[in-house]
Structure 1
Amino acid sequence: MNASSEFSSHAAPELGVGGSLWLQSGQQMLGGATRIALLAAIGATGSITGAAKAVGMSYKGAWDAIDAMNNLAGEPLVERATGGKGGGGTTLTARALRLIDTWSAIEREHRRFIERAAAAASVLGGADCAQTFDSDLALLGRLGLRTSARNQLYGTVTTIVRGAVNDEVSIALPGGQKVVAVVTCESTQTLGLAEGVAAVALVKASSVVLLAGEEVSAMRLSARNQLAGAIGQVRRGAVNAEVTLDLPGGTVIAAIVTDASVDALGLAPGAQACAVFKASSVILGVSG
């Protein structure tokens, strides 16, 4: 079980406190309020279609969530019956019913915690304090993210180009450069991606290609992401090296290249280079 709190300020100068709650199975997220609400709706309606409609999900999105929860729980939470006098239906297992009850109890305690945190924060007051807490707690939430992707690039969604199957999402980084990702239309909806939403772009270091010297200006590439910066560090290994590139605004991106490439490209601290990777190599995430 994990809980995260988020401070936010609106038109009023008072400091506000909000929070989100989710459950984990091992190191994987089992579900938050939406998934638990889906389980509860299945129990109430006995129908995936009805439950999906009740929580604002697509039919496919509901089944994807159910499959994920079943897998992460290590046992079925939802069972689908076919045939019979009633024509079949969908039911919750005893484990799912206990999970809903457990969630309700935890949610009550979480709500009490938020109320206490709000009372404590209110004594600080002031718009400046609100902005400081908003920034600090957003950063703490990002620091808690654990992923195997070496590169975690934080920014704000600027544009979304809609497609029939996939959407192209652009995220502005702090230094003004952008990262482009191609995700499914359903992922755009599920993540709540829209202009102005804060998001993180995850990119494996092995997916990043480095260009240096004359290559930077001479080559024309189909890869949508081309981030220019200066080499920060070069950590050599027996065969490969990890090279970090410092981008404007303080963002750092890492690439794994061979030692031979480090020598051939003249990759050394301070040298100018460009990190290149495909939009399809980018995974997007949002907090909450």
Structure 2
Amino acid sequence: MQFESTLTLLNSDIPFLLEKRIKLLQAIQKEGSISKAAKIVPMSYKTAWEAVDSINNLCPNIVVKKETGGKGGGGAILTEYGKNLIKTYSILQSEHKKFLERLTNLTDFNTGSLKSLKRFSMQISARNQLAVKIVNIVEDKVNASIILETKSKQKMVSNISKNSVKTLGLKIEDEIIAIFKSNNVMIATSELLGLSARNKLEGVIQKLNFSEVSCEVLIEISTHETITSVITKEAAEQLDLQVGQNIFAVIKSSDIMIGK
């Protein structure tokens, strides 16, 4: 047994994006016609027209531009906003599917109870959680090096066990989360050569927060992509760290955990 459900987005408690409506929008994008799209879904032309009206009314921007009359019931095209709406829904749908798969794995259908509710709702304390993509997996007899790429196209490596790769079902092109603690992020003011740590992320110091004994360093490695390092106050002063300074965040591959 397994869990199955469809994804519906609400606007002011009113359903406006359902799987069938997304299929209608995809068909309109392909056919350039509401009537042709309605036949593909399938649904009546009246229902399709009303669905388009409802989507346009409930969204902050026009999703479908339509022209009445003409052979075949008039033409219709998706706006850029509409195209992005489809892409966003597809991403949400994929995550929704993963959620249901995880819920299925955590449920004991013989007793009707969750095997581990704490595990299912677990929050983690690690400050740094980066969305990354797997670009390669290199395995030996026991361990695996997971080669990752950040949004800013910088490379990272995480060393985990082969068993973890199998348990998580990791594969190339998967979008996952790289997780590491802030006190495992070292700071270098230049790209050090001959260093054993495999991960050296280039970035700019965005903020420095000093306490009596430590310094929290907020590092921007790309727009809307930041990581945090916590080092001693003495180390920060010796390095003469300044906001706006270019630095390298250095992390051991064994300190990077994988979340999926």
Q: TM-score, with normalisation over the residues of structure 1?
A: 0.54
The alpha-carbon deviation at position 117 of structure 1 amounts to: 3.8
Contact 2:134 2:149 in 1 (8 A): yes
Gap runs ≥5 in structure 2: 9-16, 30-82, 99-120
| Matching residue of 1:189 | 166
| Matching residue of 2:220 | 246
| Matching residue of 2:88 | 132
Spell out, residue by residue over 1:166-200, the C-alpha distance to the aligned partner (whole angstroms, 9 max, x if none): 00001100111011001111111111111111111
SS in 2 for 1:129: helix
Contact 1:174 1:249 in 2 (8 A): no
Q: How many residues align?
A: 175
| Matching residue of 1:119 | 20
The alpha-carbon deviation at position 146 of structure 1 amounts to: 3.5
Q: 2:232 aligns with which of 231, 236, 258?
A: 258
Contact 1:167 1:184 in 2 (8 A): yes
Change (3 A) 1:113 1:217: closer
Letter paired with 2:158? A
C-alpha distance in 1 between matches for 2:245 and 2:150: 21
| Matching residue of 1:229 | 203
Contact 1:168 1:183 in 2 (8 A): yes
Quick check: which has more Rg, 1 or 2? Answer: 2
SS in 2 for 1:189: helix
Letter paired with 1:151? N
C-alpha distance in 2 between matches for 1:218 and 1:157: 25
C-alpha distance in 1 between matches for 2:194 and 2:166: 33
Letter paired with 2:162? C
Contact 1:233 1:269 in 2 (8 A): yes
| Matching residue of 2:40 | none
The alpha-carbon deviation at position 201 of structure 1 amounts to: 0.5
Contact 2:7 2:93 in 1 (8 A): no
C-alpha distance in 1 between matches for 2:142 and 2:251: 21
The alpha-carbon deviation at position 123 of structure 1 amounts to: 5.1
| Matching residue of 1:171 | 148
Q: TM-score, with normalisation over the residues of structure 2?
A: 0.59
Gap runs ≥5 in structure 1: 1-36, 38-103
CA RMSD of aligned residues (A): 2.9
SS in 1 for 2:135: strand
SS in 1 for 2:235: helix
- Percent identity over the alignment is 25
